[in-house]
Amino acid sequence: MASHNVRTERDSMGEMEVPVDALYGASTMRAVLNFPISDLRFSRTFIRALGFVKQAAARAYMEMDVLDKDIGGAIDGAAQEVIDGKLDHHFVLDIFQTGSGTSTNTNANEVIANRASQLMGGDLGSRLVHPNDHVNLGQSSNDVIPTSIHLAALLAIKEDLIPALKNLESELRKKSEEFWPIIKTGRTHLQDATPVRLGQEFLGFSGQAENSIKRLGRAQDALAEVALGGTAVGTGVNTHPEFSQRACKIISDTSGVTIRETTNHFQAQSTLDALVEASGQLRTVAISLHKIANDIRFIGSGPRAGLGEILLPEVQPGSSIMPGKINPVISESVIQVAVQVFGNDATVALAGQGSYFELNTMMPVAAFNILQSIELLSTSANNFADQCVKGIQATSTGPAMVEKGLMLGTALSPAIGYDAAAAIAKEASGSGQTIREVAKIRTELSDDQLDQLLDPEDMTHPSLEVKGGGG
């Protein structure tokens, strides 16, 4: 006796029982059973992008009078529900599936076909709208999936990551302006160096965030070229010659990000080169965030036995055994995200090597990792800006240590020569005296001259007055 909890659907291999309320059909159910690998699924952003592609395909073919208007309109409406996230629970497949992503393309075709059939007054499984003949008209998994990956990444970069980095850049720049009057000891090789403004250090951080946004522009340009229209192997068999151009324009108009048909379908479908390039830019962004977060936690180390030049916001107790301990947890979170992105990039790079002849067969795992990288970088950059950078305060420790710094001797070199300045620095180091104290004894420089030469503020900008020409 048939169960009331299932219905029978069919595909090219025969009949298959599926949950009675599921919008997907037999082919999706086969993939569910074939790939019980993990709990990892395609992200909301990817499913949304897939909806944009399917909607644009229907609209393009209706424009060209290839697809019946009633059927096309129903597909358009069902695809809009996919875009809006109303049908996410019907996208049930594991990331670790067929390497072309065919199972997920089929999942989308069946979901949209069944929902479109409902919109036309039919029952689930009635096939008033056919998943292959109508929803997948003029398409292949081999051009739909890479196009959807590119589109998803573009959407996430534009809507999430760039705004997050702009937020971080803004907060770092504000701190740069706030901390500009504060002069502290610079450090190279983790050793004391010449004085620097705390604001200059934060200006460097804000520059990293600003350059990260520029790098994303290069990633966007690479991702904007899509494979749609190449169908199975890049030749465009079974599609209309105008399809890709029309569909790309529709996708650009509806999604808000610009995409364009590739000039070479064979490279676009047989490689993940653009994705590998974009992932590399994300890795560089992660490295920048790692540098900023790590420096900030070191500058704030202490409070008494570390550098202690800044105070980080106290957001939670730092120890289960040491009362009063506060840790740089937000910075540590950013650093962990960076490490994860490094690993994701390695996965994307290796997936890029999975290109054999006319097709790459590691698209789902590449998609999962690059989209996860964008999401993690977006959320962590915003969190870093809002919960850490915004609340940083400067202490008096940095300025208090400047007068004791041995690298003040650098400013003496133009007046007394490198060797003499080095000897003064060595003596000061051994005796515990300051550079000023030793120089007053070992040189003929007056107090006024020493005041002028050893002014830390003058050491935070170009200060050598060149007289005459060089040899």
The residue-averaged pLDDT of 321-337 equals 92
pLDDT of residue 129: 98
Cβ neighbours for 331, distance < 8 A, ≥ 6 positions apart: 293, 294, 296, 297, 312, 384, 388
pLDDT of residue 466: 46
pLDDT of residue 325: 86
pLDDT of residue 316: 85
The topology under which CATH files domain 143-397 is: Fumarase C; Chain A, domain 2 (1.20.200)
Between 79 and 318, the more confident residue is 79
CATH 1.10.275.10 range(s) for the chain read 15-137
Q: Which amino acid is at 351?
A: A
Taking only the tens place, the pLDDT of each residue in 9-35 is 999 999 999 999 999 999 999 999 999
The residue-averaged pLDDT of 42-55 equals 98
CB atoms within 10 A of CB 245: 15
CB atoms within 10 A of CB 462: 6
Whether the ω angle into residue 195 lies within 30 degrees of 0, i.e. cis, is: no
The residue-averaged pLDDT of 148-168 equals 98
CA distance 46 to 29: 20
- On the question of pLDDT at 152 being above 60, the answer is yes
pLDDT band of residue 465 (cuts 50, 70, 90) is low
pLDDT of residue 213: 98
CATH 2.60.40.3880 fits 15-137, yes or no: no
Query: pTM of the entire structure?
Result: 0.95
Residue with token string 């992660």: 286
Taking only the tens place, the pLDDT of each residue in 415-441 is 999 999 999 999 999 999 999 999 999
For helices 363-387 and 141-156, the axis angle rounded to 10 degrees is 10
pLDDT of residue 407: 87
Q: Are 157 and 220 in contact (CB under 8 A)?
A: yes
CB atoms within 10 A of CB 212: 27
Q: Which residues are catalytic?
A: 189, 319
Taking only the tens place, the pLDDT of each residue in 219-262 is 999 999 999 999 999 999 999 999 999 999 999 999 999 999 99
CA distance 38 to 320: 34
The residue-averaged pLDDT of 351-378 equals 98
CA distance 145 to 385: 34
The residue-averaged pLDDT of 363-380 equals 98
The residue-averaged pLDDT of 164-180 equals 98
Q: Are 192 and 406 in contact (CB under 8 A)?
A: yes
Q: Which of 37-46, 304-313, 322-331 has the lowest mean pLDDT?
A: 322-331
Tokens (6 digits) for 128: 């008033």
- On the question of pLDDT at 451 being above 80, the answer is yes
Q: Are 442 and 453 in contact (CB under 8 A)?
A: no
Tokens (6 digits) for 144: 């739909």
Size (the chain), residues:
471
Q: Are 364 and 348 in contact (CB under 8 A)?
A: no
In CATH, the architecture of 403-456 is: Orthogonal Bundle (1.10)
- On the question of pLDDT at 2 being above 60, the answer is no
Between 386 and 464, the more confident residue is 386
CATH 1.20.200.10 range(s) for the chain read 143-397
- On the question of pLDDT at 469 being above 90, the answer is no
CA distance 47 to 108: 8
